[in-house]
Amino acid sequence: MSKDITQVLKDWYYRPNEVIVRIVRGEDGQDKVQLRVDLGLLQMEMDGRPDGQRPEGRESWLEYYQQKQQEHDEKHPDAAPFMLENEDCEKLLREGVQYYHRYLSLWHLDRYDLCARDTARNLELFAFVREHAREDKVKMHFDQWRPYVTMMHAQAVAKPLVEKKQFEAALEAVDAGIDSIRDFLDEYGQGHRADECVELLHLERWRKDIALAKAKQAESQPESAVRILRRKLDEAVAAEAFEEAARLRDRIRGLLED
């Protein structure tokens, strides 16, 4: 079999400024994510580390260093805390970029559940580095991406809820993202620049759209059972049909207690 991928690239044309992605079945029978880039393509596993590797027998370098940190703390509770050296952070950064490529691809494939999984994973990575990296500049090198990944995570959680018209749950997911980005800005003393944060502005605009859709949904819904019964109760009282009024009161009370 030829190792030349020229024909594959000719059959799958690259378009600048557009995310071109697809899912293919691999020779191992498992689905793979392929992302077209200008000089070729990236192929990623659907689960686990995107390149399919298992560093030191673990699913990822993040899992490996998390385990090392736990073992250190258990064995040396009174010693200096576990620290990530620069070379450790370089491994974690390269790995985080792999997950970025995959969650971006999954977003454009409408695989929001898997996009939410991978964005949550990178947010966990940032938190781990913030806590354990030795140098502050290294921490910031990771953490500068927190607002963007937070925005992507909130969108990935909320988008399928919006599609199902579960607007209240979608608003909760978006609000959680907005609060997290505001917390990030406050942590770095940038709360006064919130109106310049594009990720925050994007979520706030989307929240208004979702809230409007929720309001329109409420307006279009038929009268609730309680509202109908209360109207009938008023009519019964006006007609002095007191037995019917008492029956309607009992039904209303039962619905409100359920």
User: Which token pair is 80?
Assistant: 């200096």
pLDDT, residue 231, reads 87
Tell me the C-alpha distance between 50 and 97, whole Å: 10
pLDDT, residue 223, reads 60
Task: Look over the chain and give the mean of its residue pLDDT values, rounded to a whole number.
Answer: 93
User: Which token pair is 147?
Assistant: 């607002």
pLDDT, residue 221, reads 59
Tell me the C-alpha distance between 147 and 33, whole Å: 25
Please name every residue paired with 36 in a beta bridge, in sequence order, or none if there are none. Answer: 20, 41
pLDDT, residue 253, reads 80
Residues 6+ positions from 247 with CB-CB distance below 8 Å: none
pLDDT, residue 205, reads 98
pTM of the model: 0.84
> Residue 194: which of 22, 222, 204 has the closest Cα?
204
Positions of the chain with pLDDT under 70:
1, 219-223, 256-258
User: Which token pair is 157?
Assistant: 């959680």
Tell me the C-alpha distance between 13 and 16, whole Å: 10
Length of the chain: 258
Amino acid at 52: G
Q: What angle do CA 202, 208, 210 make, to 5 degrees?
A: 100
Residues 35, 44 contacting (CB under 8 angstroms):
yes
Residue with tokens 């805390």: 81
